[in-house]
Amino acid sequence: MKRFSVLSMDGIGVALRSVISRVKDATAKRPSELPKTVPRLVAVSKLKPLECIVEAYQHGQRHFGENYVQELVEKSNDQKVQELPDIRWHFIGHLQSNKCNNLVGVPNLFMVETVDSTKLASALSSSWGKQNKQDPLNIMVQVNTSEEDSKHGCSSDHCVELVQHVINHCPHLKFSGLMTIGEMDYDWSQGGNPDFICLVQCRKDVCEILGLSEEDVELSMGMSSDFDKAILMGSTNVRVGSTIFGARQPKQPSSANAAGGILHQSPRETVLSGGTSQPKTSQGTNPAPGAEQDTFPPESFNVH
């Protein structure tokens, strides 16, 4: 098992450095008309234990993304995380209006990337207002660019309206940009991903109609499988999970205390659950057949 102890020591740091260098490479290869600003990397830590977050933080990572309100509340309030003063949380999951009051209490909440209706925007603004913070809360409008029923997000046709609502009627929110998840498993031999093309077009429309400057409107697009390509198309914020932290277990509704159950696994148990090892835990950490298997360790990773 020696090779796994090597993984446990360096896995996240090595993977993180590899992702950062790919982010920089892709930025340098952008067409000349696009800005050369290096996008923000959000390390998506959903369903991963705190130790992984602490380890990534120690390697210099500051922005982290979470999908579930309860899990984020628990993680962000944990003593271990309280000791990471510059951590910046992004909420990137589906948000229900009745959860806004819980979410806004998260210490160091930096951005909510998934505002997809006027009702949610208003609820979030009013929740944030009650916190009496000096600055408004950064938000992005999520666009369902692939128009899949299974995906959340406003339709691209309603995007301008929703942004306008945020700007005119949500005094405690700061409109920061547009976000999409897009179709998984897009076949890139078919050309530029239509989801990313669509989001770029949405930004054009928003800026033209509402008189904003494109530099002031971010694009959150790109995940483990496609962040390099998203950057080439102008992404300013990429959300990368499994390439940094290893494959995730599917979320199990049966373990209602999902966050509690994963909060204190060691990084090793989790990083190694990517497929090849059999960690000895009672948490059911072995991947189910057909569980998502992302590339980990990354190609550049050297197992000694």
Ligand X SMILES: *Cc1c(COP(=O)(O)O)cnc(C)c1O
Residues that bind ligand X (CB under 6 A): 44, 46, 67, 92, 181, 223-225, 239-243, 294
Q: How far is the CB of 173 from ligand X (least distance, A)?
A: 19
Of 44 and 50, the one with the shorter C-beta distance to ligand X is 44
Q: Between 57 and 68, whose beta carbon lies closer to ligand X? A: 68
- Chain centroid to Cα 239, Å, comes to 4
CA dist 304 and 296 (Å) reads: 15
CB closer to ligand X, 44 vs 173: 44
Q: Is the peptide bond before 297 cis (omega within 30 degrees of 0)?
A: yes
Tell me how far, at minimum, the Cβ of 209 lies from ligand X, in Å.
26
Amino acid at position 222, single letter: G
Question: Which residue in the shown chain puts its C-beta closest to ligand X?
Answer: 241
**Minimum CB separation from ligand X for residue 293, in Å?**
11
Q: Do the bridges between strand 109-115 and strand 218-220 make them parallel or antiparallel, or are there none, so unpaired?
A: unpaired
Residue number, 47 or 121, with CB nearest to ligand X: 47
CB of 245 to ligand X, least distance (A): 8
Q: What angle, rounded to 10 degrees, do the helices at 118-130 and 159-169 form?
A: 30
List helix spans (H) across the chain: 2-28, 50-58, 69-77, 79-82, 100-103, 118-130, 159-169, 194-210, 227-232, 242-245, 258-263, 267-271
Between 46 and 172, whose beta carbon lies closer to ligand X? Answer: 46
What are φ and ψ of residue 90, in 5° steps?
-115, 130
The structure tokens listed for 30 are 């952008």
Tell the smallest beta-carbon distance from residue 7 to ligand X (Å): 18
Tokens 């982290």 correspond to what residue? 64
CB of 42 or CB of 54, closer to ligand X: 42
Contacts for 87 with CB less than 8 Å, ≥ 6 apart: 53, 57, 62, 64, 76, 81, 108
User: In the bound complex, what is the minimum distance in angstroms from residue 240's beta carbon to ligand X?
Assistant: 5
Nearer to ligand X, 172 or 241 (CB): 241
Q: Which of 67, 25, 27, 26 is nearest to 43 (CA)?
A: 67
Least distance in angstroms from the C-beta of 150 to ligand X: 13
Shortest spacing between CB 65 and ligand X, in angstroms: 6
Query: Vertex 106, ends 102 and 112: CA angle to 5°?
Result: 85
Residue 176 CA to residue 91 CA, distance in Å, equals 14
| Token pair 């483990």 in the structure block, residue | 224
Q: 235 vs 265, which CB is nearer to ligand X?
A: 235
